[in-house]
Amino acid sequence: MSQAAPDRTAAAGRLASAIDRLAAGIARHWLAIFNVIVALFVGLPFLAPVLKEAGATGPANLIYGVYALTCHQLPERSFFLFGRDLTYDVPELEALGAFPPGSNIIQHQLLRWQGSAEAGFKVALCQRDVAIYTSMLVGGLLFAALRGRLKRRNGKLPKLPLWLYGVLLLPMLLDGVSQLIGLRESDWPLRLLTGAIFGLATIGLAYPYVEEAMADIIRPANAPPQTGQNPPSAV
């Protein structure tokens, strides 16, 4: 009798068991994984100007290019390192040669100006995005430190109500839309504040649900194996 079928069944069982263990491991350490990912995501944009200053143009351009997919990277809304100032407004950037006088915001974005020896080199995320992801990292670290205390008697974490999340989103929407349509120009402290509020609110809304979902994955893995007598085989 061929052993192929039992061998395939045993191999499939081992694969399924390995996948279950991997899923349970990720579920147990999801928060640390998320925090590391967010830390890398917000840290790499600051590496870009460091590399640019050091003359490593290729790796710096790679970082700028990747983050251009997620952010407008407008120089007038970005931080600069190794230059005269931390931020520059449009007239200052025109004087520095970042873009021609009188050019519009679309031209500013298309030019992808990274900086200069005089101005320094820009961080690869805009000011608001820096605030959003940094506050998400801070929120994730606070969640890790406090989630045990925040759990109620039934083991559930308190969740940010959806209506309150909408209220906390409004400052960023109002600030961003008003400058987008030309009513006003925001400044970097307001961008940081509104971005940080949004980032923290997002953690407060999402992470309790993620914690519950991961607990549902861990619970079967921690359950003791079922015991019982097998029915006698037929003769």
pLDDT score at 10: 66
In-domain check, residue 192: yes
In-domain check, residue 5: no
Residue 225 backbone dihedrals phi, psi, to 5 degrees: -65, 145
Mean pLDDT of the chain: 87
Q: Is the pLDDT of residue 50 over 70?
A: yes
pTM: 0.85
Q: Is the pLDDT of residue 62 over 60?
A: yes
The domain in which residue 149 lies consists of 10-219
- Residue 144's Cβ-side half-sphere holds a number of Cα atoms within 13 Å equal to 15
165: confidence class by pLDDT, cuts 50, 70, 90: very high
Burial of 54 (0-12, 13-18, 19+ CB in 10 A): exposed
In-domain check, residue 28: yes
In-domain check, residue 195: yes
Please report which residue ranges of the chain form alpha helices under DSSP H.
4-28, 30-54, 57-67, 90-95, 105-111, 127-150, 162-180, 188-222
In-domain check, residue 145: yes
Strands 115-116 and 120-126, bridge-based pairing: antiparallel
In-domain check, residue 234: no
Measured distance CA(122)–CA(49) in Å, rounded: 6
Tell which wins on pLDDT, 4 or 65: 65
> What single-letter DSSP state applies at residue 39?
H
pLDDT score at 234: 40
> Considering the chain, what percentage of its residues have pLDDT values greater than 70?
84
In-domain check, residue 2: no
Measured distance CA(231)–CA(156) in Å, rounded: 40
In-domain check, residue 193: yes
Measured distance CA(48)–CA(41) in Å, rounded: 12
Instruction: Give the count of domains, the chain.
Output: 1
If you average pLDDT over residues 64-93, what whole number do you get?
A: 96
Tell which wins on pLDDT, 91 or 26: 91
Q: Is the pLDDT of residue 154 over 70?
A: no
